Chain A
Amino acid sequence: MKKLGLIIVLICGSLMLYGTIDFPDWADPSSPASTHLSPYFIETAMHDTAVPNIVTAVLADYRGYDTMFETTVIFAAGLACFFLLRRFQRRAPDVNLFRHMPTGITLRIKKGGKVPVDSSEFERIDSIWVPYDLIIKTTCRLLIPFILLFALYVIAHGHHSPGGGFQGGVILGAGIILYAISHNLRAAKARIKERFDAYMCSAGVFIYVGTGVLCLLMGANFLDYSALAPLLGTDPIMARSHGILIVEIGVGIAVMAVMICLYYNLSSAGRQDEGL
């Protein structure tokens, strides 16, 4: 079986290598891509969409379909991780550890013992003993707002500089993951619940597709943002620019939610009670 697989891989690989012979050379100025496509985008992107960053214009406007399905792929990756890893049977741990906050004493409560009432004085901690680290917690609490702010900047500034929904979404997700690492998984889940995360996941994709459908309803092609001009109250060219921003926000939300979902499931082996 293994040999058969190897043979198939070798045949496919050699066919693909054979196919690359027909490709134009690297940086060939007379290739179709650089004689037709690139000059067209360079010359018309600014007039058509009022977006100075041509990459963003091509990504979210001219190639809107492509990016929509990229977002769907990310959503599918999150779903796959959820279905493969998530385990719902709750297994009561043998020992529960609690920390008394004012004194720093750790309580060890065996199965069946009386668990302290959830108050501000007691904090449940993981069975893999985690010391109370003031330095890391304080620094992360200082840094996370700046990280999230920077992520929003990256999303919103994708029109003018490198950035956009994917990058900004990853930074947003990383901010939340940093919070989960510096405290623990339960603290992060208290902020962003699993259900909320799942809603955000689909909401991101929904915003993207919904924008496209809205364009259809306004009587234009799917994802032709210039049709949104009457809704946004601007001229068609600026409407394309705003449409790109709406779509980028959708991408950002989806990517952030998927990143968080991946971290929650991978760090706790799908149980989501204790993790890193």
Chain B
Amino acid sequence: MSVIIIIFLATGLVFFAGGAIGIIRFPDFYSRLHPAGKLDTAGLFMTMIALALYTIYEFNVDNLITALKIILIVVFVFLTSPVATHAIVDAGVRAGLKPWTKEKEKEDNK
């Protein structure tokens, strides 16, 4: 059981680390939202599953309810995180920000 929990936690941390690096390393606004929106959700999913498994380690009704509450967090983040990313991208497009391209960067560097 604890091996499974550790695997889940480690995968979650990999996702979080990837998200953090991605936000710094990607070239522009839109591509930065890609790690921010996806990898954080995936990382949260993995870590929360691990925490839920950890709470029902000693199985009784109270722990089960706590685990269900943790799953509820995942459900709400799954609902809100993509919508928030969608809204931010929408605002960027409406404000007139052009997406990054390789050609454009070459022109800027000239």
- Which residues of B are found within 8 Å of A16, using beta-carbon distances? none
For B, the interface residue count at a CB cutoff of 8 angstroms equals 8
For A, the interface residue count at a CB cutoff of 8 angstroms equals 8
Contact between B80 and A139, CB atoms less than 8 A apart: yes
Let me know if A135 is at the binding interface, CB within 8 A: yes
Let me know if A142 is at the binding interface, CB within 8 A: yes
Contact between A143 and B79, CB atoms less than 8 A apart: yes
Contact between A143 and B76, CB atoms less than 8 A apart: yes
Interface of A is mostly: helix
The smallest C-beta distance from A190 to any residue of chain B, in angstroms, reads: 22
The smallest C-beta distance from A125 to any residue of chain B, in angstroms, reads: 14
Contact between A136 and B79, CB atoms less than 8 A apart: no
Of the candidates B76, B79, B90, which one forms a contact with A133 in the assembled complex, judged by CB atoms under 8 Å apart?
Answer: B90
Of the candidates A135, A142, A143, A146, which one forms a contact with B86 in the assembled complex, judged by CB atoms under 8 Å apart?
Answer: A135
Contact between A136 and B86, CB atoms less than 8 A apart: yes
Q: List 11 A-B contacts (CB under 8 A).
A: A131-B90, A131-B94, A133-B87, A133-B90, A135-B86, A136-B86, A136-B90, A139-B83, A142-B79, A143-B79, A143-B80
- Which residues of B are found within 8 Å of A135, using beta-carbon distances? 83, 86
Chain B 34-60 residues near chain A, CB threshold 8 A: none
Instruction: Please report the number of residue pairs spanning A and B whose Cβ atoms sit closer than 8 angstroms.
Output: 18
The smallest C-beta distance from B53 to any residue of chain A, in angstroms, reads: 24
The smallest C-beta distance from B60 to any residue of chain A, in angstroms, reads: 20
Chain B 50-91 residues near chain A, CB threshold 8 A: 76, 79-80, 83, 86-87, 90
Bound CA span A15–B106, Å: 59
- Which residues of B are found within 8 Å of A142, using beta-carbon distances? 79
The smallest C-beta distance from B80 to any residue of chain A, in angstroms, reads: 7
- Which residues of A are found within 8 Å of B83, using beta-carbon distances? 135-136, 139
- Which residues of A are found within 8 Å of B87, using beta-carbon distances? 133, 136
Nearest residue (CB) in A for B93 is: A131
Nearest residue (CB) in B for A140 is: B83
Bound CA span A142–B75, Å: 12
Nearest residue (CB) in A for B79 is: A139
- Which residues of A are found within 8 Å of B90, using beta-carbon distances? 131, 133, 136
Bound CA span A143–B83, Å: 11
Bound CA span A139–B83, Å: 7
- Which residues of A are found within 8 Å of B86, using beta-carbon distances? 135-136
Bound CA span A143–B84, Å: 13
